[in-house]
Amino acid sequence: KLVGAQGWSIFVKPESSEQHPKSRSTKMFRYICFAVMLASAWAAPVDEQVMVTEPVMELRAPPVDTVGPVVDPEMDMRVPVVGIMDAGLQQSTDGAYNFHYRGEDGSFRQESAVVVNPGTEYQYLKISGSYSYFDANGKEVVVHYKADDRGFVPEGNNIMPQISTAAKINSQLPRVEEKPRPQDVLSHVPHVPHVPHVQQVPVVGSVWNGQIMQV
């Protein structure tokens, strides 16, 4: 009960703790409407464009009949071992040597070298040798070669004759050097003819301008 300034009074009825059935139905109706709107918004399309997915490229293995045999890399890199039937080596302190070997597959090699102009600045090795082997067709290949300070000259049944001829001609060309070798210098000394011995006769006088003046 509230009493006003004019003397009137107002009675306030306290609310009951229980809600009216009508208010419950109103709230339920609101929840249903909200759920319907949410479902409609969720089901609506974002836009009218058609989404097209790109085709996925598939990597397929080739047919079985075109696939070669699988080879173990370790087995493929192995080199067949050839046994040595005979071998020898001789070497001198000045650099000369001689060696040879022969394999059980029929291959062989031999080489020898001698020292030319030992102890000088023009010292070099003069080498000669040969080797042989069998190619993939079973044909024996034999090569003979020479090497020195003028180059390498090979000859064999697997080397074109033009190559061997050109190498041989090149090895016979005169040397082009900054200074001549000692033997070249000696070979260019002018030849002095032999002067026969003449018996000397004493002359009394003096020599002037190559003429003998008698006194």
Q: In sequence order, what are the beta bridge partners of 143?
A: 131, 156
What pTM value is reported for the model? 0.47
Lowest mean pLDDT among 107-111, 112-116, 148-152, 208-212: 208-212
> Among 137, 138, 129, which residue's Cα sits nearest to residue 156?
129
Domain ranges of the chain: 84-174
* pLDDT value of position 205: 43
The rounded distance, in Å, linking the Cα atoms of 31 and 104 is 101
Q: Which residues contact 140 (CB under 8 A, 6 or more apart)?
A: 106, 132, 133, 134
The rounded distance, in Å, linking the Cα atoms of 136 and 158 is 13
Lowest mean pLDDT among 38-52, 116-130, 144-158: 38-52
* pLDDT value of position 188: 36
Q: Tens digit of pLDDT for each residue in 14-61? A: 555 555 555 666 777 777 777 777 666 666 555 555 555 666 666 666
